Amino acid sequence: MIKNKLFLVLSIFFIITTVTYAFELLLTPSYSYTLDSTGTTDIQKSLDYTGGRISFLIPTEDSEEISYGPYLGFFYNYNLLESLESVEDVGISLGLNMKYTTNIIGNLDFLVTAFGGVHTEDYFKTFKTEILINGGISYNNLSLSVGYETRYYEEESLTVNYLPISLGVSFKF
């Protein structure tokens, strides 16, 4: 079943790339530091995680500054697994990425990215919501950004707020 879903995602990616005349592939590995968590579970330690997202971005027709598209993310919760038995340590996230860039000086740009979608640690049996907004700078195809992320774990009645620090590289075709 997982192979079928992965095949479907790759097929959609292939179809979009053959139809689109220009696109950007954005890779953003990150470390997310736990700011706080609220919920009915008693978790006293850090819920930090590492991960990365791969985004397929298409520029809007009216502006080269704004682009959007789907993303696929992989993350590793090395402390969350120890706190909650029902959560796996490796997860996947899917959703929509919006990116805004504007020139500051020369090749230095101001960058804002927003990710919104779902994350899952149980191989797509249940979906939880994630919202992430980053701001930073980019130089040519490299970027550094810091933001604010909220992840919801409904079964555990847990909401975790993170401070993600992301490095990124983009490839334009």
DSSP secondary structure letters along 99-138: EEEEEEETTEEEEEEEEEEEEESSTTSS-EEEEEEEEEEE
Q: Which domain holds residue 117?
A: 2-172
CA 11/CA 82 separation, integer angstroms: 36
Rounded average pLDDT over 94-113: 93
Phi-psi map region of 104: left, alpha, beta (phi>0 left; psi -120 to 50 alpha): alpha
Q: What is the CATH number of the domain that holds 7?
A: 2.40.160.20
Number of structural domains (the chain) is 1
Answer with the residue of higher pLDDT: 148 or 76: 148
| Res 120: pLDDT | 82
* Nearest of 49, 34, 42, 26 to residue 145 by alpha carbon: 26
Rounded average pLDDT over 25-32: 92
What is the value of pTM for the model shown? 0.78
| Res 86: pLDDT | 45
Answer with the residue of higher pLDDT: 78 or 142: 142
